[in-house]
Amino acid sequence: MEDVEGGKRKRWRLWLALTALVVLLAVVLVPPMVSINRYKNDITHLVSESLGRPVRLSSVELRLIPRPGFVLTDLTVDEDPAYGAEPVLRANAVKASIRLFSLWRGRLEISRISVDEASINLVRTAEGRWNLESLFRTAAGKVQNAEAAQANPNRRVNPFPYIEATNSRINFKEGVEKLPFSLLNTDLSFWQEQPGEWRIRVRGQPARTDVNLDLADTGVVRLEASIHRAAELRNLPVHLDVDWQNAQLGQLTRLLIGSDSGWRGDLTGEMHLDGTAEAAQIQTRLRATGVHREEFAPAAPMDFDASCGLVYHYSQLSVEDLKCDSPLGDGRIRIAGGMPGNETPAHFSVELDQIPVGAALDALRTVRNDFAPGLQAAGLVSGKIGYAPQSADVATTAKTASKNPAPSTHGSRAHAQPAGPLTGSLTVQGFQLSGDGIGEPVQVPKVVLEAVSTAATLTQGDSMALQTSIALPAGAPSPLTISARLALSGYTVRLQGQTNTIRARELAHVAGFARAEALDALAGGPINLDLSAQGPWLPAPRDLTADVPQGVAGGSAKTTASDAPNGPVSDRLLGTVTVHNATWKADYLANPVEIAQATLHLDRDAVSWDPVSFAYGAVKGTASVDLKVNCQGSAECAPHFDVRFGDLDAGVLEAAFLGAREPGTLLSELLAKLRSASSSNAPKWPPMEGTASADSLILGPVTLTDVSADLRLQDDGAEIEDLNADLLGGHVESGGTVKTGQGSPVYALEARFAGLKPAALGKLIGQDWTGGDFAASGKMEVGGFAAKDLAASAKGTLHFDWRHGAVGGSRESATDDAAPAALAKFDRWTADAEIGGGAVTLKQNEVQAGSRKRTVQGALLLSDPPRVSFAGPKPAEAAEANQ
């Protein structure tokens, strides 16, 4: 019996092995032998019926493993002509799986359609309809057919298949126009969960075709939706969950608006929708971390977490019951409102509840680099601002009433102007600024920001704003009035009143004005301010006076390099700053400059001090200084000055700049500074250029009148260009350089003299000279401070030409001073002379009287006073003259 049982088991195993072998051979051998292309039209019709769209394909293959199905090659799903001509789906290879149980019933049904690397188009028409509507209508029709089939079992119904796409691309179109937006590397699933309910799942990377994007930073979008049956797409009951994670703000703005807005940070957003497109309940949450501008990394980047709820109506494109809430510090920001649509104006309100002022300061630092990093702000902001513009008919009625006012009657009240769209106020309690070099904190117990706007000015960009005015004690007899106007587009701040130099320095540092250290050299009486600052919140500005040399008072405004025509709008500081009875001390000056009055003018294209009434010791004058804006190079950016003197004595000028000549006084201090000029830490003159002029300049016995010279100051000296003056009845033109880098100044000068009167020239050297005008030219190099040093170091050449002249003897009748007979009367005397050894010595010369020509010998000793010796200078005499 056991042997019989064992034989049966062996035969059963043999049959199983034979059956498996037959199935395996069928799987391997049957598909190639079966011509599925004979059933291509039936399969095409079956897929088309499942998708509700015309379908085209090139070939069909049968696959039995891992599950029975078809492989469709070059599948194209045509679009409904109402949405365009481009196919709704195109894929090289598609797998269509067969429902096995349908084969037992003698029918062929598709359970799953799988595509890979497909291109899918989502189209929205101008009427707001999507090409998905026909797909849902097809699915809904299958549900209705299935319900009908339950009542009539003989009716055939093909159930809706499970559709999935992997590594695919979803394109978006507006009518026939393809938009640049798409989802790449997309995985999509669409299936019927149960009769009358469909599920959608999407995961992809947002992309834009018309800009270069780093796809790793555009984030990943995930969508899960549950949709129930309805007659129209807009009435489908929907539950939708969307989240967008790991999006970088710079790439996100490039994706949405096509350009990088300059913000950096990480963003995560999520949205939950319940209802229909006609009445969608939407909840959103937006979180961001490390938000800052791309130009710099602030000490405390912004983080925020905002949640909103609203009801959206698709047909009216309206939003109602909008409520947003975001914590900030220990307070909260709440936004409420709605957009009714149908040309009805939107209305919003923003409520601040105990928001710290320090948070606003931190926000400002995220857009303004190095803005008062040590500044601390205290205070709390609370209040509510509402925005509710008039409807079109109300605005028209108000405008008509303003043009055609009703006649007034006795005792009637004037008609009130229609209220503007912006209402409400914000109150700052306990405002205080401290730190960052502020000696005494700036305190204002209460600041009220009132909403201002009028219906008549809605076309103006800043017609709606918050404004305030406060009186701030600033260390002067009268307070400083600050008026501010804050709009969405930018800000305007007006300062009027008095402050002292200490408070002015603090305010300049707090406001971030570069070159504010120039104010550190200013001390004295009150400063009158009448300034207006305005600009956008973005972009961050560049210092207006970034190219102003250090130490030149005037660095007190900001702008950007784009302030040139057609450039972006930038910050502007306009107005005047007036200084009275102040002193200004620069490191490169031996003494302070006393300023009786100076006015700084600031406008869009220029910064200038004009006029400046000053005294430097006994030297008095007026000046103006122009500080260039928007210059292109360092040479072009040098400030330009114009200094004007009355009667100027060189001796007084020397005493003012050099001080007394005893050891340990200002002169020795100045010499020490000049001798260390080669050191990197030595104070140097700032690069400047301009004009200096005087009514007269007294140089010992010589007086120059109507003096003017173009000067170019550099850190190692100065260039004198085009010096012009009247001298000794004639005119002199000169130029040269002054170098101060060798321990003592070195002068290199060239001069041309014309029309000098012999009588005045002879009087200068103590002789009687008469005749025609005297002309000369020459060049000379001298060095030192004192007159004897200048005379001893002088070297150079001189050429002169004198016609129809006569040289008389010395008034002191010295033997060596007696003029040679040849000079008693002559027609022309030309000579070349050499400057050196403390004298101007005649070299080659010619004295012509009629046809007779002779030469003479002589020299001018550079003594005090100068003396002529026609016998030539004796060595001992020349040395004595230079003692």
Give mean pLDDT, residues 127-151: 60
Nearest CA among 748, 759, 694, 702 for reference residue 724: 694
According to DSSP, residue 252 is labeled H
d(CA 875, CA 850): 36
pLDDT tens digits for 358-399? Answer: 888 888 778 777 666 778 889 999 999 998 886 544 444 444
Share of the chain above pLDDT 70, in %: 72
Query: According to the model, what pLDDT value does residue 472 have?
Result: 84
SS3 state of residue 114: strand
Give mean pLDDT, residues 322-344: 90
What confidence category does residue 876 fall into, taking pLDDT thresholds of 50, 70 and 90? very low
The residues near 536 (Cβ < 8 Å, ≥ 6 apart) are 489, 490, 569, 570, 571
SS3 state of residue 822: helix
Query: According to the model, what pLDDT value does residue 407 have?
Result: 47
pLDDT tens digits for 413-467? Answer: 344 444 568 889 999 999 988 887 777 888 888 999 999 875 444 334 457 889 9
* Domain spans in the chain, listed from the N-terminal domain onward: 473-637, 647-756, 788-883
d(CA 850, CA 451): 97
Query: According to the model, what pLDDT value does residue 565 have?
Result: 36
Q: CA of 690: how far to CAs of 170, 641, 642, 715, 822, in Å? A: 68, 4, 6, 15, 47
Beta strands 59-63; 89-98: pairing state: unpaired
pLDDT tens digits for 20-60? Answer: 555 555 544 444 544 556 567 777 777 787 777 788 888 88
Residue with tokens 């980047």: 301
Query: According to the model, what pLDDT value does residue 349 have?
Result: 93
Q: CA of 478: how far to CAs of 54, 469, 529, 578, 820, in Å? A: 85, 15, 12, 15, 78
Lowest mean pLDDT segment, chosen from 164-173, 365-374, 556-565: 556-565
d(CA 95, CA 415): 77
Lowest mean pLDDT segment, chosen from 632-646, 658-672, 827-841: 658-672
Report yes or no: 502 and 472 within 8 Å, Cβ to Cβ: no
Question: What average pLDDT does the chain have?
Answer: 77
Query: According to the model, what pLDDT value does residue 322 have?
Result: 94
Of residues 704 and 158, which shows the higher confidence score?
704
d(CA 182, CA 327): 34
Nearest CA among 275, 251, 273, 274 for reference residue 262: 251
The residues near 780 (Cβ < 8 Å, ≥ 6 apart) are 747, 748, 749, 794, 795, 796, 797, 798, 835
Give mean pLDDT, residues 291-315: 85
Give counts: helices (H), strands (E), the chain: 13, 45
- Other Cβ atoms less than 10 A from the Cβ of 72: the count is 24
- Other Cβ atoms less than 10 A from the Cβ of 776: the count is 19
The residues near 612 (Cβ < 8 Å, ≥ 6 apart) are 595, 597, 598, 599, 622, 623, 624, 625
3-state SS of 359-408 is HHHHHHHCCCCCCCCCEEEEEEEEEEEEECCCCHHHHHHHHHHHHCCCCC
Amino acid at 443: Q
Query: According to the model, what pLDDT value does residue 551 have?
Result: 39
Residue 812: pLDDT over 60: no
Report yes or no: 625 and 612 within 8 Å, Cβ to Cβ: yes
Nearest CA among 395, 394, 417 for reference residue 405: 417
Nearest CA among 755, 759, 798, 753 for reference residue 773: 755
pTM: 0.66
DSSP code per residue over 149-165: HHH-TTS---PPPEEEE
Give mean pLDDT, residues 79-85: 84
pLDDT tens digits for 836-867? Answer: 988 999 999 999 999 899 999 999 888 877 88
d(CA 188, CA 163): 8
